[in-house]
Structure 1
Amino acid sequence: MVNMLLLCGAVLVACILASRFSQRAGVPALLLFMALGMLFGSDGLLRIPFDDFRAAEQICSVALIFIMFYGGFGTRWEAAKPAAAKAVVLSTLGVAVTALLTALFCHFVLGFQPLASFLTGAVISSTDAASVFSILRSKKLGLRYHTASLLELESGSNDPMSYMLTMIALSLMGVGESGNLIWMVFSQIVFGVVLGLAVAVLSVIVLRRVHLGDGMDSIFVLAAALLAYALPAAVGGNGYLGTYLAGILLGNAKIPHKPSLVHFFDGLTGLGQIIIFFLLGLLSYPTQMPGVLLPAVAIALFLTLVARPLAVFVLLAPFRCKLRQCLLVSWAGLRGAASIVFAIMALAGGAETGYDLFHIVFCISLLSVAVQGSLLPLVARKLDMVDTEDNVGRTFNDYQDQRQLHLTRFRIQQGHPWEGKTVGECNLPADALVVTIRRGEESLIPNGSTVVQAGDLLVVSTPIYQDDGGVSLRELPVEEHKDWIGRTIRELNLPAEVLIILVRRADGTTAVPKGGTVLCQGDTLVVSEGEHMRPA
């Protein structure tokens, strides 16, 4: 147990450090996670034995649920709506066309059996949400013509189609669910949509009407993501489609504590990506890759240069997209974790292909992330598709943090200088704005002529401070300085570079310090200080 925990901790630290390195080196972090897994694996330096496809499939499937959910939750529909029709076409028909073309190539060029060819095309037909999200966010890649939104929506929503094609292929091979294929397709789509949206609607009602307490809302939404997958899957529906749609509805609904939910799922999704890519690297055997390198490279080249561009150009033709946009969308068809997880599902289900499906798909994904992912920013610049005035973060529901705003509130006491004045007369800083005024049970949307009254609670927005490392905060208990008790702040002999910014009283209340504020026993001072600060 202890050794396992040590290993897990070491792996997470190594992956986090690799992520920091990737930002400087321009290499996709997910590629480094995979490389670390290979380093730890049976053929690596540490030679950790791991070849349990069933366990890997279960672990990766759970991680994929949260990645899919957050792909929907983090998508801001208002920004993504202009590209929605194109994304839906690519995530459905585009996946089917790509799978069909790849299957034909595998059968007629590489000599694979027909059903095995169809299975291969199915598992690698979707683009990888984790890879696309990671690269666009880490590179802050704003793109013209709503292309970033198009790629985000497509990659987040096309895994369910690839999953459905994989299940159909397994059914035809006699190792999956048997039965009427028309009913399978119907149940996959209808149950996935209906139950996923039902879970989301009920979750929104609960979050709006029930106060769940600190942190419980995050756990509740996590449970909703699991239910949105499990309920459709239990009755033959597409669980990935259900959880993705639930994520979109919840992410764009007016629910409390949404910024904290974004932070929670951002961390959870990051952990899921580390687990998936590391585990896939751990499961691989690099010594077996030379034997599958030629077919893997051939399929990767066909996907990148023929199947994906052909599907994109044909399906986007009715939308009259520009040539350079179609070229960039074609290049951005990254394969990654989802394809490998679906290949593992097929093998864990007992599919016999006559070749090493896992390592072929693994090599294709490795090449795609390494080559296409690394060159994506360069290709975007060469095609003049980078929009320097656009922020890719606007595609996501990161709200306050993405907008670089901070909200603060303060009560107008009797005798306050602003009492009786209009908002326009309050001499607010140029970057500050009164967002709302709480007056008793009412919430007022203020304008310049709104009069401020005693007892009002003002909510003010200001630009958030970007910490440059020069300022740090620390707590200073008054108990450690007995001679301060009963004295005012102006009487303290503090260094000039130290400023008291908050006084926390023993009863839990806080006070903004002034020169005449008297310190009491049990008080704690919050002070700001910095190595490079000097007195004004």
Structure 2
Amino acid sequence: VTDFTIYEGLLLGSIVSSTDSAAVFSILRSRSIALKGNLRPTLELESGSNDPMAYVLTIVLTGFVVSQDAGFLSTIPFLLQQILIGGVLGFVFGKIAKLIINGIKLDFEGLYIVLVIAIMFFSFSATDFVGGNGFLAVYICAVYLGNQELIHKKKFIKSFDSFAWLMQIVLFLTLGLLVFPSEIIPVIGIGLVISVFLILIARPVGVFASLMFFKGQKRGKLFISWVGLRGAVPIVFATYPLLAGAEKAHMIFNIVFFISLTSVMIQGSTLSVVAKWLRLTIPESDKQLTKTDIELSDSIKQVLTEIVIPHECSIVGKQIVELGLPKTTFISIIQRDSKFITPSGSTHLEADDKLFVLTENKEDLSSVFDCLEMKQKNGAMPETGGILETV
């Protein structure tokens, strides 16, 4: 189809291998539908994990294209080094970041967001400095933090969602300045052939081969085969050969841009149709809520309870963030002696504190007592404290 060398062909393949699960869920959400079963976490795992690998392959193969003398076997140690160091340091930085976020006391809540951004930049730079994959380190660090109890976690999620949209706008605007329609027209034929091959052959074969040892319905695998939606990441990776001065970098960039455009037009426009045809959709309102969904929910709390912390309770001296309270629970205020305190995750509990706890139902209230390490008697009164008023 093209006059590419084997390295240039592999470079093109590595660039377009990155997929965008966020675009998939955005399209489904705009049509008020959600996916059944574990399809969502599967697609999120694929999208998050293939970006670091696509980045490594793009860097390696760009070097091969620029310098034809390099040997392929010599890159295996480099690949292992990138993955192992990136994975280990990502987990280590995640553990350290949790301690820093929950342990440091800043006067302004907005500075916590700046702190997290600084941690991400440091994680990437430090990992890259010692020869690891910075993207993989940041991804694992973020996944770890996303599953931990953090101070101001709800604000983090909302802020980074805004940052993600802003970066996408800036990214597409910048990439649009690099594209010239007159240069896209000559590669339309090649681009269509490659797009059809990726959509109908390469993607399905790769999905079924990867999932052959995992249980799951064939319909689910067919849907995953269809949703290999390309986003902005392949276009960004296509700029790497341009910066390196590769001989056919402009042609590769134009082909990648056309493939991404075709993916959005064909796969993106038929996404909901295919999901419904395979009977894999449920109404958006009936989908199973993830931890993040629960974290961001602003549901109405129906039960207000006053709980007194006794002297002998083991939670005395602990931060609220360390208690592991249910996501549907909210400590609205703390009365300490004659003062009223508006609590945050970093607030330390003291003996004789009176907590005003809002919960959705009495089942959540029972979980609150478990987290406070206080027992309930007859489903209403704790042995060591007391429910003074319940509305």
How much does 1:368 deviate? 0.7
Which whole-Å CA distance do the structure 1 matches of 2:94 and 2:193 have between them? 42
Residue aligned with 2:234, SS:
helix
Q: What are the within-5 Å matches in structure 2 for residues 193-204 of structure 1?
A: 193-204=87-98
In structure 2, the partner of 1:185 is 79
In structure 2, the partner of 1:251 is 146
Matched, 1:172 2:103: no
In structure 2, the partner of 1:206 is 100
Residue aligned with 2:193, SS:
helix
Q: What are the within-5 Å matches in structure 2 for residues 51-450 of structure 1?
A: 109-174=1-66, 180-213=74-107, 214-353=109-248, 356-388=251-283, 394-395=289-290, 397-402=292-297, 404=299, 407=330, 409=332, 432-433=361-362, 435=365, 444=374, 448-450=379-381
- Between 315-324 and 428-437, the greater mean CA deviation after superposition: 428-437
Which whole-Å CA distance do the structure 1 matches of 2:133 and 2:112 have between them? 26
How much does 1:139 deviate? 4.3
Which whole-Å CA distance do the structure 2 matches of 1:119 and 1:431 have between them? 53
How much does 1:212 deviate? 2.6
Post-superposition CA distance 1:448-478 (Å, at most 9, x none): 3226999989899xxxxxxxxxxxxxxxxxx
CA contact (8 A) 2:18 2:230 kept: yes
How much does 1:244 deviate? 0.5
- Indicate how the Cα distance of structure 1 residues 200 and 320 shifts in structure 2: closer, same or farther if over 3 A, else same: closer
How much does 1:128 deviate? 2.1
Post-superposition CA distance 1:262-309 (Å, at most 9, x none): 111111111111111222223211222111111111111110000000
Which whole-Å CA distance do the structure 2 matches of 1:450 and 1:342 have between them? 60
- Indicate how the Cα distance of structure 1 residues 413 and 122 shifts in structure 2: closer, same or farther if over 3 A, else same: closer
Residue aligned with 1:284, SS:
coil
How much does 1:332 deviate? 0.5
CA contact (8 A) 2:374 2:385 kept: no
Which whole-Å CA distance do the structure 1 matches of 2:239 and 2:26 have between them? 23
Q: TM-score, normalised by structure 2?
A: 0.76
Match for 2:83: what amino acid? I
Residue aligned with 1:356, SS:
helix
In structure 1, the partner of 2:343 is none
How much does 1:232 deviate? 1.6
Which whole-Å CA distance do the structure 1 matches of 2:98 and 2:359 have between them? 37
Residue aligned with 2:332, SS:
strand
Which whole-Å CA distance do the structure 2 matches of 1:176 and 1:225 have between them? 35
CA contact (8 A) 1:175 1:351 kept: no
- Across the two proteins, how many residue pairs are aligned to each other? 337
- Indicate how the Cα distance of structure 1 residues 437 and 133 shifts in structure 2: closer, same or farther if over 3 A, else same: closer
Post-superposition CA distance 1:408-450 (Å, at most 9, x none): 6357899xxxxxxxxxxxxx999655748999xx775767322
- Indicate how the Cα distance of structure 1 residues 389 and 350 shifts in structure 2: closer, same or farther if over 3 A, else same: closer
Q: Report the aligned-residue RMSD.
A: 3.5
- Indicate how the Cα distance of structure 1 residues 435 and 174 shifts in structure 2: closer, same or farther if over 3 A, else same: same
CA contact (8 A) 2:33 2:284 kept: no
Which whole-Å CA distance do the structure 2 matches of 1:444 and 1:239 have between them? 44
Post-superposition CA distance 1:475-525 (Å, at most 9, x none): xxxxxxxxxxxxxxxxxxxxxxxxxxxxxxxxxxxxxxxxxxxxxxxxxxx
Which whole-Å CA distance do the structure 2 matches of 1:261 and 1:320 have between them? 35
Q: TM-score, normalised by structure 1?
A: 0.56
Which whole-Å CA distance do the structure 1 matches of 2:269 and 2:390 have between them? 44
Residue aligned with 1:190, SS:
helix
Which is greater in Rg? Answer: 1
Match for 2:247: what amino acid? E
